[in-house]
Amino acid sequence: MNRRRSVRKYDPNKPLDPEKVKQCIKLATLAPNSSNMQLWEFYHICSKDTLQKLSSYCFDQNAASTAQQMVIMVVRKDLWRQRVKSNVTYLTEVYGDKPKKEYSKRAKFAFTYYTKIIPVSYVDFLGILGYVRFAVYWLIGLFRPIYRQARNSDMRIVAHKSMALAAQTFMLAMADINYDTCPMEGIDSLRIKRLLKLPHGAEINMVVSCGVRLPEGVYGDRFRVPFDEVYKKV
């Protein structure tokens, strides 16, 4: 935790082993994520040519122009149907392929979760169904606690939250092997989407540049507001 800093200048003489970076990306996929839907993709950029283009789409800020490699964190909310299938296949492996009534209560709930509850949350049509859900939940919420993340925009936040946890997991894994990173949202997400030939439904969460820090690559001591201002014991 203490080693990880946002590094803005990397050492040009210290290349990274792409296999080690790949391993850190693999560790990132262990991050907790909403409903284990894993609505993420990780684009590991190693080619000089693509790095150069990507740097210009990150406005050639130092963290990008000196990067040895970069990882683009892509949210794929549009893949929810595929992820439901993967989860159902996994559950069938775990609980066995048998008639529904033979499943335990826990197994039945798990199947219902992925085949009924998740589709109700993720299905959308031009953002309209999200507002219908929101209104229904709001009405129910007058009488009992209810899940509120119903609109399309809420579901986008849900997916981006999980992706950010994976990004942080990646950066910590990198720090653990003395590799440095800088998360960046100062980017042209549309051009990056085009560069990766991503479909309309994909969204760039952030770009993480990677390298080995130069001493001057860390811009000063860490600044945090006093802990008492953000720590609230209830």
Ligand X SMILES: Cc1cc2nc3c(=O)[nH]c(=O)nc-3n(C[C@H](O)[C@H](O)[C@H](O)COP(=O)(O)O)c2cc1C
**If binding is defined by CB under 6 A, does position 61 make contact with ligand X?**
yes
Looking at residue 200, the DSSP 8-state letter turns out to be: T
Tokens representing 11 are: 């050492």
* Spatial separation of the C-alpha atoms in residues 209 and 36, rounded to whole Å: 26
Which residue of 48, 101, 200, 222 would you call a contact of ligand X, by CB under 6 A?
222
Q: How many residues bind ligand X (CB under 6 A)?
A: 12
For ligand X, what does the binding mask look like between residues 129 and 168, x meaning CB under 6 A? ----------------------------------------
CB nearer to ligand X: pick between 48 and 222: 222
The helix or strand, by DSSP H or E, that contains position 209, with its residue range, turns out to be strand 203-211
- Considering beta carbons, is residue 75 or 184 the nearer one to ligand X? 184
Among 123, 185, 194, 201, binds ligand X (CB under 6 A): 185
Burial 57-96 (b: 16+ CB within 10 A, else e): bbeebbbbbbbbbbbbbbbbbbbbeebbeebbeebeeebe
Nearer to ligand X, 5 or 83 (CB): 5
Contacts of 42 (CB under 8 A, 6+ apart): 25, 28, 29, 71, 72, 73, 74, 166, 170
**Shortest Å distance, C-beta 182 to ligand X:** 5
Region of 38-46, 83-91, 150-158, 184-192 interacting with ligand X (CB under 6 A): 184-192
User: Is residue 184 a contact point for ligand X (CB under 6 A)?
Assistant: yes
53 or 85: whose CB is closer to ligand X?
A: 53
Site map 86..125 versus ligand X, x via CB under 6 A? ----------------------------------------
Report the interhelical angle of 80-95 vs 105-112 (nearest 10°): 160
> How far apart, in whole angstroms, are the C-alpha atoms of residue 230 and residue 224?
10
Nearer to ligand X, 7 or 150 (CB): 7
Of 46, 44, 40, the closest CA to residue 74 belongs to 40
63 is an interface residue for ligand X by CB under 6 A: yes
Q: Which spans of this chain sit near ligand X (rule: CB under 6 A)? A: 5-6, 8, 61, 63, 182-186, 206, 222
